[in-house]
Homo-oligomer: A and B are copies of this chain.
Amino acid sequence: MKTNHDLRLTVTLRLLDGEGRRRFGPGVAALLEEVREQRSLRAAAASMGMAYSKAWRIVHTAEEALGHKLLDSTIGGRHGGGAALTEEAEALLAAYRALREEVNAFAQERFKERFRDL
């Protein structure tokens, strides 16, 4: 067998709730990191080409499942205030990124091994 070895492996990690619904994964993680950068959920959504209502729903759905806030809103200003990541969101992101890194390294290693002879 001569499988095309230009194919590369990607690993996606997601947190699902009891009903199997996606609650946290690459999308929420990227959105939170963009909020950290932009200091605003609205600006983060815009820079990702995402409707604000969708970004809000993603964050809200994750918060509900996790049982804690991910964003601290700062009130006021004519642009409706900004947002910062909560301490819990930072800890979650750090754990998620570290886990992803570690699992990905393991997976790439094993992929090379298992797909070498295909």
Give A residues with C-beta under 8 Å from B. Answer: 1-4, 6-18, 23-24, 65-68, 87-88, 91-92, 95, 98-99, 102-103, 106-107, 110-111, 114-115, 118
Contacts and interface: CB of A to CB of B under 8 A. Distances in A.
Number of copies: 2
Most buried by B among A66, A103, A114: A103
Interface SS of chain A: mixed
Contacts of A23: 7
A66 B2 CA distance: 8
A6 B11 contact: no
A68 B2 contact: yes
Contacts of A4: 65-67
A1 B85 CA distance: 14
B106 A118 contact: no
Contacts of A6: 17-18
